[in-house]
Amino acid sequence: MSSGFQVPGDNNIIIPFGNTISGERSTVIDVSGNLAVESTPAAQQEYTSAGPLLSGGVPATATTLLNDLDSVGVPYASGDQIDISGVDADGSFVTNLLSVDATTTVGDLTAAVNAAYQGASGGLDGQGNFAFTADASGLTSLQLRFNNIIAPSAGQPNADTSANGINFTAHVMNLTTIGKDADSMAQELFVFDELGRMHKLDMEFTRRDEDHAWDLAVTTDSNFATITDGFVE
């Protein structure tokens, strides 16, 4: 009889009384299959103005006066305000009133937006578009709106002010990137410890920003093992 408790040519396993078989822990795990090539990484929700802020046909900068923007009709004057409102990334409502006059700049407007929101920030891109992006990835309720509040003119309290200030209809904030969590795939398998006890491994592959790269997180039913390198290419 061989040390493996089998006789050559006999498929039966015979274990003599009093013998023991020591448990043997799993040392190699074979994981096979494909990770979806069409998967995508996490994304931050982003809004971009429908049209750029231009001054003399050139993209505005932070130092550009609001009254120098091409989309301004009647210039702002002392007592006017811009109502900054919307929804923050966490779903809370946002409102902030920016007092404006002939000295107010695009940078002042940007600073007022960023002061109003805790989970997002905005600024001009190289083309003069106002870009507004959530700080964290994932789908959010983020929204941003601008409205003019024009002070009544002396002696003309009912005057039409629709042409005053920036024409925000030309710069409405459009959703350009939908926020999302990274795609992930789950798999489970079983291994054995040195006592022969079976343990379940829960494996989760999460898409990285790099092409064809994933992170691997493994949890067990009793935390008897840890993963030291979860990078998968």
What average pLDDT score do residues 96-120 get?
97
Give yes or no for residue 1 having a pLDDT over 50: no
Out of 74-78, 100-104, 195-199, least confident range: 195-199
- Looking at CATH, the fold of the domain delimited by 44-177 is given as Alpha-Beta Plaits (3.30.70)
- Per-residue pLDDT tens for 5-15? 677 778 787 77
pLDDT tens for residues 135-156?
999 999 999 999 999 987 654 5
Beta strands in the chain (DSSP E): 44-49, 54-55, 58-59, 80-87, 93-100, 120-124, 130-137, 143-149, 173-177, 184-192, 198-207, 214-220, 231-232
| DSSP-derived secondary structure letter, 169 | G
Q: Show me where the domains of the chain are located.
A: 22-41+182-233, 44-177
Residues contacting residue 20 through CB under 8 Å, at least 6 positions apart: none
Give me the pLDDT at residue 26, please.
81
Which pTM does this prediction carry?
0.70
The SS3 of residue 16 is coil
* Spatial separation of the C-alpha atoms in residues 230 and 159, rounded to whole Å: 66
Query: Which pLDDT value is given to residue 225?
Result: 64
Q: Estimate to the nearest angstrom the gap between the alpha carbon of 173 and the chain centroid.
A: 18
- Gap between the Cα atoms of 160 and 169, Å rounded: 17
